[in-house]
Amino acid sequence: LKMSRRVVRQSKFRHVFGQAVRNDQCYDDIRVSRVTWDSSFCAVNPKFVAIIIDASGGGAFLILPLNKTGRIDKAYPTVCGHTGPVLDIDWCPHNDHVIASGSEDCTVMVWQIPENGLDAALSEPVVVLEGHSKRVGIVSWHPTARNVLLSAGCDNQVVIWNVGTGEAMISLDDMHPDVIFSVSWSRNGSLLCTACKDKKVRIIDPRKKKIVTEKDKAHEGARPMRAIFLADGNIFTTGFSRMSERQLALWKSVCVHLVLLNLKCTLYLNHEAKPLNPDITSDLQ
């Protein structure tokens, strides 16, 4: 009898090993923010890395050129226009010198970064977007349309802004009964995927102000969960089980074009309870 030698499917990552970079290629001595809000503390684009830092008297974040590694002086200039701690930042996908920030002061600010980075503190934003009644924990640029920015706050509201005019174009204020943990645009920007404290993952058509579909108890644990659209239209989530075990789940949609009719879990993994941000998974297709 002829037996196949290949019993287990080979993983493309099986023989990939990480190697720590030298100290002079790292960013050192940065006072990273200690705010407990569950979001990314840094954001990067082809020119700069932005890092939310611990600051007194308001919120601030660093803007460092990618080639400026090593020890960062404590007097290095910051972006410091918010009156409360900064909770989230996001670079504009259409302009490497524009970044948005959301803060505990209930505002969203958009900043223009000089060509060579900061040589002095930047405290004057290009525009201030006001419309939330509680802290703003999520900011996300539209992937294809220019000057369109999304924000979500602890007032359970999602607002889509026209940054050029400083006005709200769409306000989704009746779709989430509790705090919104994460919001993700689909690849073409026609749909939103949200994760809420009520343990539901929702797919929303923002133009129609309509919930296309939702999944109750995507993760049954009480701790925060996150959900993102993948490049193929499927949904990837992270969360916790009832026993506080970290879970990863891949949800396959019946239709991945304009409307998702249903969500069905195709992969469910349990891991030890450590924080995990799923944003990188969209690149591992």
Query: What CA–CA distance (Å, rounded) separates 93 from 115?
Result: 16
93-135 tens-digit pLDDT: 999 999 999 999 999 999 999 999 999 999 999 999 999 999 9
**Mean pLDDT across the chain:** 86
Domains in the chain, CATH or no CATH each: 23-174 (2.130.10.10), 187-285 (no CATH)
Q: Which one, of 133, 127, 193, 184, lies nearest residue 161 by Cα? A: 127
State the pLDDT confidence band at 249, using cuts at 50, 70 and 90: confident
Parallel/antiparallel/unpaired status of strands 27-28 and 70-71: parallel
Q: Which residue has the tokens 């349990």?
A: 270
Residue-wise pLDDT tens digits, 119-176: 999 999 999 999 999 999 999 999 999 999 999 989 999 999 999 999 999 999 999 9
Q: Which residue has the higher pLDDT, 259 or 212?
A: 212
Helices and strands (H and E) in the chain: how many: 0, 22
Closest to 140 measured CA to CA, from 282, 258, 39? 39
- Nearest alpha carbon to residue 227 among 173, 189, 282, 168: 282
Q: Does the pLDDT of residue 281 top 70, yes or no?
A: no
Q: What is the pLDDT of residue 158?
A: 97
Q: Do residues 89 and 99 touch, judged by C-beta distance below 8 A?
A: yes
- Report the range of poorest mean pLDDT among 48-57, 167-176, 242-251: 242-251
Mean pLDDT value of segment 86-90: 96
| pLDDT over 90, % of the chain | 58
The answer, yes or no, to whether residue 4 has pLDDT greater than 60, is no
Give the model's pLDDT for residue 258. Answer: 33
Tokens 């910051």 correspond to: 78
- Residue 92 · residue 47 · CB < 8 Å: no
Rounded average pLDDT over 220-225? 88
Instruction: Assign 88 a pLDDT band (cuts: 50, 70, 90).
Output: very high
Quick one: what percent of the chain has pLDDT higher than 70?
85
